[in-house]
Structure 1
Amino acid sequence: MEIPKLIMHSVQAKIGLTTTPASLKMEQPQADLEIKQPQADMEMSVTPGKLTIDQTQAWEELDRKHIFKRIEEASQKGRQDVMDGIARTAEEGAELMRIENGANPIASQAKRNAALHKIQLGENYAPSFSRVKVQYTPSQLEINVTPHKPVIQAEPHKPVVEYMPGDVKVDMLQYPDLKIEVEYPKE
């Protein structure tokens, strides 16, 4: 026994796609911007430097003294000379009281008082630099700065967006087809 044959012929479908791409345009306008920077407040104060030079001792070594200093020294020397004179007179009186001891106090006192005493003159022509007193106080600078924050005004703009959607068109280029044939065996 023979079985009939089935013969199938098929044609597949063909689809055609036509696409239009989407388009997107975006623009961002710049913001309106205004910036102001106020100047800082600045205050400066200066304490001036001070230079003090005291050359009194150097001038005194050159014997160029102030009149008050000379008067004070003369009064001290006069006081000392008076005290020395009193001591010398008391000593000479004590010598005269002991005249009986056989000495010749009058002659020895006369000889002693007649002797020349060397007088030393103050001849100082160059005082040392250490006698000049120099004192310096440096100046001081004080600066106070008060900064101010900037004033910023900004007005943003919205972005400009243009969008066109895409499109897809579907076309049937070939329809499907199926043919079935039955073939019987020949007898």
Structure 2
Amino acid sequence: MIPPLQIVTQPTLLEIDSGRAGLSIKQPRGEIQIETSRAKMDITQPRPEMQIDQHDAWRAYNGGTALEMNRQIYSELPGLFLEGLAKRVEQGNRLAAFHLQGNSIGEIYGADWKRDPFVEFRAPASYDNVSIYVQPHKPEINIQQIKPVIQSEQHNPEIEYQPGYLNISVKQYASIKFIPPNIDMTM
């Protein structure tokens, strides 16, 4: 019988050592400057137009123009004539009845001491004889816009990187040993 051959193997042993990588990112804020100016504004307010018509007031105060006064007198004359005529007819009728007491010429004409009214040549007075017309005007507004001046400055990010490490080393190499059997040669 042949003694068995002995085989001894040894595996490879690796040692791995690693460290993490580091990454740092900083981003400073950007700077912005905005300069604005007031808009140029021009506002003009035209005065309102006002018209005052006092013609009717002057007609009530002094009769107005000569033509208007003559028209007023002419329009009133027929009525005044009829009133005067009616008064004279009444006085004549009283004189015709002279036989009645108190109908004497002295009493009829003596009581008539008031002057006959003249035609009213003025227009009637009223609170709305003066007319006022106001024409307002809208304001004229001109605005010239001025754009703002914007300046910005950006900052690049600050990146810091610390690399990691990886060390791989062999602690033990693989090996195979063949151990022969002890053969007794003495036999």
Runs of at least 5 residues in structure 1 that lack an aligned partner in the other structure: 85-110
Other structure's SS at 2:67 match: helix
Deviation at 1:27, TM superposition (A): 2.2
1:166 counterpart residue number: 164
Checking the alignment, whether the CA contact within 8 Å between 2:56 and 2:123 is kept in structure 1 is no
Distance verdict in 2 for CA 1:10–1:50, change over 3 Å: farther
1:41 counterpart residue number: 40
Letter in 2 for 1:144: N
**% of aligned pairs identical?**
24
1:29 counterpart residue number: 28
Letter in 2 for 1:145: I
- Separation (CA, whole Å) in 1 of partners of 2:34 and 2:41: 22
Instruction: Count the aligned residue pairs.
Output: 148
Pairs within 5 Å for 1:13-162? 13-57=12-56, 60=59, 63-65=60-62, 69-76=64-71, 115=89, 124=124, 127=126, 129=128, 132-162=130-160
TM-score w.r.t. the length of structure 1 is 0.54
TM-score w.r.t. the length of structure 2 is 0.54
Q: CA RMSD in A?
A: 4.3
Deviation at 1:43, TM superposition (A): 0.8
Checking the alignment, whether the CA contact within 8 Å between 1:46 and 1:140 is kept in structure 2 is yes
Letter in 2 for 1:65: N
Runs of at least 5 residues in structure 2 that lack an aligned partner in the other structure: 79-84, 91-115, 182-187
The answer to which structure has the higher strand fraction is 1
Deviation at 1:155, TM superposition (A): 3.4
Checking the alignment, whether the CA contact within 8 Å between 1:21 and 1:167 is kept in structure 2 is yes
- Separation (CA, whole Å) in 2 of partners of 1:16 and 1:58: 124
1:176 counterpart residue number: 174
Deviation at 1:9, TM superposition (A): 6.0
1:93 counterpart residue number: none
Deviates more, 1:152-161 or 1:140-149: 152-161
